[in-house]
Amino acid sequence: MEERLQKLLSQAGIASRRAAEDLIRQGRVTVNGKVAQIGQKADLASDVIRVDGETLKPPEFVYYLLNKPRGIVSTNKRQPQETRRIVRDLIPHEGHLFSVGRLDADSEGLILLTNDGELADRLMHPRYNHTKTYEVLVEGRPSPQTLNAWRGGIELDGKRTAPARVRILSEQENDTLLQVVLREGRKRQIRRVAGALGHPVKRLVRVKIDFLEIGHLRPGQWRDLSPAEVRLLKEKR
């Protein structure tokens, strides 16, 4: 079955669809020996597709659920200046993986890693409304008015944050454990909102992406997604 080249490259884990288009524009993709063009279609069953001279093979998809520890960087490729460990150091898989649901180095919790570029694009695209659930320990004891302001959204960089679900899980003398559920994911959003409302974050753990839960995974542990979980993710609309 013929598919657009950028989709085939994305499915094979070579690059996201947008990055695959750049590869095609740069003349680095060929189909049956000829330089490919944007919008071109091909069939892996009958066409020979090469990227930088390497033949594209039918993908064997993998799906990992990782509990990222604090201090680990959420990137798949180590930058020259980066000395800290990255999430790819924790997964014994050769080849490229996409990270779905980045976390700051000082945050913890659930990250999905896969070489299925098409599914990764779907999970990261805001129109699919995948929720992300966090347990957030903040300084002090937020008032009902403060929690309502968080739920309704506040101004960050001139743009209002989307409504969030926020509820108290437990309270201590000097801090409060909150559950925060988001459908958007601006950079350091929870930390910035909490700080703006006067309750800086002491610890942040993502415990759920959509229906996928961290469960009993300890920091640094990972597991394969089940076929049923993969099917449910692909069926989400």
Q: How far is CA 227 from CA 54, 55, 62, 71, 234, in A?
A: 30, 28, 10, 31, 11
Q: State the catalytic residues.
A: 104
* pLDDT tens, position by position, 128-153: 668 899 999 999 999 999 999 999 99
Same domain, 114 and 145: no
Same domain, 225 and 181: no
Same domain, 104 and 217: yes
* pLDDT tens, position by position, 91-125: 988 777 888 878 999 999 999 999 887 788 778 77
**What CA–CA distance (Å, rounded) separates 168 from 156?**
23
- What is the separation, in whole angstroms, between the first and last Cα of the chain? 23
pLDDT of residue 160: 93
- The pTM for the full model equals 0.77
pLDDT of residue 237: 63
CATH code, domain carrying 13: 3.10.290.10
- Burial class from Cβ neighbours inside 10 Å (0-12, 13-18, 19+) for residue 132 reads buried
Tens-binned pLDDT, residue by residue, of the chain (237 aa): 788 998 888 877 788 888 899 999 999 999 999 999 999 999 888 899 999 999 988 778 899 999 999 999 887 777 777 778 888 889 988 777 888 878 999 999 999 999 887 788 778 776 666 889 999 999 999 999 999 999 999 999 899 999 999 999 999 989 999 999 998 878 899 999 999 999 999 999 999 999 999 999 999 999 999 999 999 988 876
Same domain, 100 and 161: no
pLDDT of residue 199: 98
Residue 33 phi, psi dihedral angles, 5° rounding: 85, -5
**What CA–CA distance (Å, rounded) separates 19 from 108?**
28
Same domain, 110 and 70: yes
Residue 220 phi, psi dihedral angles, 5° rounding: 95, -15
**What CA–CA distance (Å, rounded) separates 197 from 222?**
34
Tell me if residue 205 falls in helix, strand or coil. strand
Degrees, nearest 5: CA angle 159-164-166:
135
Q: Which of 94, 104, 108, 37 is nearest to 66 (CA)?
A: 108
* Two tokens, residue 95: 């080849």
CATH code, domain carrying 105: 3.30.70.580
Same domain, 139 and 24: no
Same domain, 77 and 194: no
Same domain, 18 and 113: no
E-assigned strand segments in 74-107: 98-100
Same domain, 24 and 86: no
**What CA–CA distance (Å, rounded) separates 69 from 105?**
8
* pLDDT tens, position by position, 199-208: 999 999 999 9
Same domain, 135 and 121: no
Same domain, 76 and 38: no
Tell the residue number behind the tokens 């743009």, with chain if given: 159
pLDDT of residue 17: 83
Domains of the chain: total: 3
CATH code, domain carrying 139: 3.30.70.1560
User: Whole domain around residue 93: which residue ranges?
Assistant: 63-127+212-235
